[in-house]
Amino acid sequence: MVGRIASIASRMDRLYEFDREPVSANKLQSGWKFAGLFAGEHVAATEFVIGAFFVLHGVTAKDLLLGLAVGNLLAVLSWTFVCAPIATRTRLTLYWYLRKIAGPGLTFIYNIANAVLYCILAGAMIAVSATAVGLAFKVKTPALDAVWPNSVGWVILTLAIGSLFVVLAILGFEKLSRFAQICSPWIFTVFIAGAIAVLPRLGVRPNLRNFWEIATTKIWNGVPLSGQDRFGIGQIIFFAWFCNLAMHIGLSDLALFRYAKKWTYGFFSAFGMYPGHMLAWICSGVMVAAVGREMNPGLMAYEALGMAGVAGVLFAGWTTANPTLYRAGLALQTITPNWPRWKVTLVAGLGTTILSSFPVFFLKLLDYVAIYGLVLMPIGAVVFAEHWLFPLFKLEQYRAEKLDRPFHWPALVVWVGTLAISFFLPVHLFFRWLPGYLIALLSYTALSALRRK
Amino acid sequence: MLKILSRLLSLASLAACLFSSILYFLAKLQVGDFKLIFLVASVSWFVFAGLWSKGGKKSLSVN
């Protein structure tokens, strides 16, 4: 068992070897580079679904605006005060820092969990793209409560699009990443122009005098669609905050901020949260209201912008599924010794493609995003506690590394225990991560203190 | 020179996408014309932005 873990750890280390050393001073990047990166990364295919779901969940216009303003601010502050300071002090990726803290065995489990979650997310993006291509073939988008595929057409469509995305990903991640960079300003324009273009259909007059009236009666009117629970300001604040939980509180973005000159560069995440998330979600809300609240991103964009809109949804899905597939493949490569990258991508891609045919993943996207963040959040708490709280309480840091242990059991116990407690917390799914995070922080610190005694 | 020109034309294309929707909202454009302009401007963005980005710096490694 120990030999097997050591072998896996060694393979895993080779994969991440290129970023093993802390980033050197000459490789640090300017703040505007971070602004551009955040602005580009946070306008994705899923934005078409998220903003639309807020409308379907009967959010009022005031709750939406205030909730998004506050929630996105909390996300920016999380990047700035939780993630960026650790990144600029260690200059390591989460992979290498977690390895020091929790041991290679637990890092391996974290990688696999991450890979599975990435595959599901990429599957949701493929499904969003399928709604656009489906218009041309008259394939009906599954109903809101659908779990299983609703037709043979939907299955064929998602499998075909997923396979195409996977083949293109195998042919060249780098070229596609370049294409994604070109795409992102245009996709952002698709959101804004799409929302503006459907305003006349909703009855907004060119002088905009009745805009607020239309917004509060026809778009965010506080009436949920049948079968959808009603969201208040709390859900909006928490959703905007935890939408990228794995990145800020979960510390995945150590990989990014290790290149920052100062921890204050975390504030540049505002370029992704406000012009990105907030504006894109508002725009997709306007678009879904204009198509009679039908959750069909392809139809929303087509009605607003015609063929360019369809291309927008397709490209948004494609360009965001691509890096997600890449990351899933990288994580999975640890359990497939000596497999070339194309083979791992193929397997991860096939799994993702099959998942994409199940509409539940994109129709329950908000819940999935909550679960995604929740699952990875305790690891962020473990790293935060080890980095900041251990020196404060004079606890020994990095025991797993010093004792060369594959597993640091307190970290594993806290991870599993926090998830179990969070599962039974009697609050809405969106609110569970915060008490869970505090539980993880305190229990990991307490457990480590007890072990020392 | 080609790069500067590509940069200007790509930004102009993006602006055309946005302004065509505003003109449509203001009822200065018909729906068919608006969607055609948006499509052409979009294609134009991809052509010129592609030329502009050729030889550009690599982005940060986040993996």
- Among candidates A404, A322, A338, which has minimal Cα distance to A41? A322
Class of residue A248 by CB neighbours under 10 A (exposed 0-12, middle 13-18, buried 19+): buried
For A249-299, the pLDDT digits (tens) are 999 999 889 999 999 999 999 999 998 899 999 999 999 999 999 999 999
* Spans of all domains in chain B: 10-52
Instruction: Write the pLDDT tens digit of every residue in B23-59.
Output: 999 999 999 999 999 999 999 999 999 998 875 544 4
Highest mean predicted confidence (pLDDT) among A18-22, A114-118, A153-157, B59-63: A153-157
Contacts of B42 in chain A (CB under 8 A): 186, 308, 311
**Tens digits of residue pLDDT in A158-180:** 999 999 888 888 876 677 777 88
Q: Which amino acid is at A378?
A: P
In the block, residue with structure tokens 């608006």: B34
Query: Averaged over A413-439, what is the pLDDT?
Result: 96
- What is the pTM for the complete model shown? 0.90
Contact B39 A306 (CB under 8 A): yes
pLDDT at site A14: 63
Is B50 or B63 the better-scoring residue by pLDDT?
Answer: B50
Helices (H), A79-151: 84-90, 94-136
Q: State mean pLDDT over A122-129.
A: 91
- Is the pLDDT assigned to residue A453 strictly greater than 70? no
The minimal CB distance from B60 to the residues A29, A178, A192 is found for A29
The confidence score (pLDDT) of residue B60 equals 44
B45 vs A contacts (CB less than 8 Å) = 185-186
Task: Give residue ranges of A with CB < 8 Å to any B CB.
Answer: 18-19, 29, 33, 37, 177-178, 181-182, 185-186, 189-190, 192-194, 196-197, 199-200, 204, 206, 253, 255-256, 259, 305-308, 311, 326-327, 330
How far is it, in rounded angstroms, from Cα A284 to Cα A363? 15
Look at residue B59 in the predicted model and tell me its pLDDT.
46
Cβ–Cβ of A178/B53 closer than 8 Å? Answer: yes
C-alpha A398/C-alpha A321 separation (Å) is: 35
Nearest to B18 among A18, A192, A330 (CB): A192
Q: How many CB atoms neighbour CB A223 within 10 A?
A: 16
CB contact under 8 A, B21 and A307: no
Closest approach of B15 to chain A, Cα-based (Å): 9
**B26, B36, B53: residue with CB nearest A206:** B26
Could you tell me how many CB contacts below 8 A there are between chain A and chain B? 77
Residue A197 has its nearest CB partner, among B34, B45, B62, at B34
Q: Give me the pLDDT at residue A171, please.
A: 78
- Domains of chain A (ranges; CATH) run 2-366 (1.10.4160.10)
Distance CA A352, CA A343 (A): 14
Q: 3-class DSSP state for residue A432?
A: coil
Residue of A nearest to B58 (CA): A178
